[in-house]
Structure 1
Amino acid sequence: SIDLAQAAGDKGIRVLDAPVSGGEAGAIEAVLSIMVGGHQADFDAARPILQALGKTIVLCGPHGSGQTVKAANQLIVAVNIQACAEAVVFLEKSGVDLAAALDVLGGGLAGSTVLARKTDNFKNRDFKPGFRIDLHHKDMGIVTDAARTVGAALPVGTLVASLVASLRAQGDGGLDHSALLRGVERLSGHTTES
């Protein structure tokens, strides 16, 4: 998250909440998505700084809105990784050429940034930390707590939060969140772990 403070005349200091998405690669390439909460004037004043960091920069509402959108982002990412992990195990147990299958899936409606960025992790069982399970566990706690507060049901999100917590409890918290594949493999009796 990036917190930017802007002096606002006699009103003192106002703060924008500006969480980011795009991971390490997005930060290095300065193509992060930045979801901002705060006042329009402060957002306009901070835009040059934000443009140095990202390409998709959107004011999502009043202060706090950026964090809410970031929580929704983490929900979507976790559910997407879990679905990809389940598809990988399903494909492998079915005897399908995994590389070919992921290639064709990536070109269709099932394609996503998650699938594109995590395909090599899945194929190579390379779970070197990028965004760690421990951090996604923290974020899933944020989204489930926030959803409870506003009365939003998250049936799939709550299940995936439990799967993330389970993986963490099994000692995989320091691995990349694509290691959700390990949990699916364990549940399926299909381990190719190194």
Structure 2
Amino acid sequence: MKLGWIGAGKMGLPMLASVLAAGHAVSVFEPQAEARERARQLGATPVAHAADVANGAQAVFSSLPDDAALLATAGIILDAAPAGLIYVDTSTVSLQASATVASAAQAAGVQYLRAPVSGTPVQAQARALTTMVSGPADAYAAARPLLALWGERIHYLGAGEQARSMKLVLNLMVAATAAMMGEALALGSKGGIAWQDMLDVMDTSAVASPLLKVKTASLRERDFRPLFSCEQMAKDLRLILAAGSDKNVPLPLAALASQLNTASIAQGRGALDYIASVLTAEATAGIGPVQSPETMTP
């Protein structure tokens, strides 16, 4: 197929790589020169303007950072879209912004799929993402083989904004898990449990989950390099709390997770992975510097 792609960042690039590996011809727009070059090396054709990705395309995908980027990008794509184009956005954005795009897409005769993904860049590289989809059912049927290229776990949830809501549901659980792990590890450290022993028990206990195991793997090495930063989590928590307010759903745990994440940012950890909640909890509990992984006992 002839496809267009906008956004070749941490998540967009490995997803794009899977599409290219399947033999599709992809025009890509990416404003960052380094990411654009990586996409070119994978076999994509860089274009100078976002509108150019829609030229002759059967479908256009986007992986974008926020509401403003989606609204701006969608406006460009819809203006340039050929009749019958399928537009698939994989970003994490608000229900309101997504609904605005849906209305504009309908007016332009474009089939708009909301297709946010769950997973890390590592899972994207392994083609193990989970994709949540909502929008026109016939467009979903047509696009499903492409969505499956970055992960077989695909859930069609309805014709409206259900996929956007589902992504916020999952990210609320992720944020709460990070807050929980920070407090639990601080408590265990103060209880005299060796760092590696705590992580070993967590990994084999009833509370173990795929997310927890991903995070304990990095925590073993005290590795806080960002797969998803505290700043990015702050954006998602704002979306979650806004959705709760809009739907009259009290979200006290989300509010607390947001405050704890804000504390991480205030203490200079905004660019670290969101599991830096562990560092924030340690600082709050008065736990001193941790030793090297070989002798690690907080």
Q: Give the TM-score, by structure 1 length.
A: 0.91
1:142-187 per-residue CA deviation (whole Å, 9 max, x = no partner) reads: 0100111001111111100111122112221100111011111121
Note if contact 2:203-2:216 (Cα within 8 Å) is conserved in structure 1: no
Q: Aligned partner of 1:83: which letter?
A: M
Equivalent of 1:6 in 72, 86, 89? 86
Taking structure 1 as reference, are residues 193 and 171 closer, same or farther at Cα in structure 2, changes over 3 Å only? farther
Give 1:183's aligned amino acid.
T
Unaligned runs of 5+ in 2: 1-11, 13-60, 64-84, 88-104, 292-298
Matched position secondary structure for 1:111: coil
The answer to whether the Cα contact below 8 Å between 1:3 and 1:18 also exists between their aligned partners in 2 is no
Residue 64 (structure 1) aligns with:
161
Q: What residue is the counterpart of 1:25 in the other structure? A: 122
Q: Which amino acid aligns with 2:170?
A: N
In the other structure, the counterpart of 1:136 is 233
Matching residue of 1:153: 250
Counterpart-to-counterpart distance in 1, 2:249 and 2:289: 37
Point out the structure with max Rg over C-alpha. 2
Q: Offset of 1:193 from its aligned partner?
A: 5.6
- 1:101 maps onto 2:101 in alignment: no
2: distance between equivalents of 1:192 and 1:151? Answer: 43
Residue-by-residue CA offset, 1:117-166 (whole Å, 9 max, x unaligned): 01133233211111111100000000100111001111111100111122
Q: Percent identity of the aligned residues?
A: 30
Q: Residues of 2 paired with 1:58 and 1:191: CA distance?
A: 45
Which residue does the alignment assign to 2:221?
A: 124
Stretches of structure 1 lacking an aligned partner (at least 5 in a row): none
Distance in 1, matches of 2:147 and 2:288, equals: 43
Residues 191 and 26 from structure 1, CA distance in 2 versus in 1: closer, same or farther, beyond 3 angstroms?
same
Aligned mates of 1:182, 1:102 — CA distance in 2: 15
Runs of 4+ residues deviating >3 angstroms = 1-5
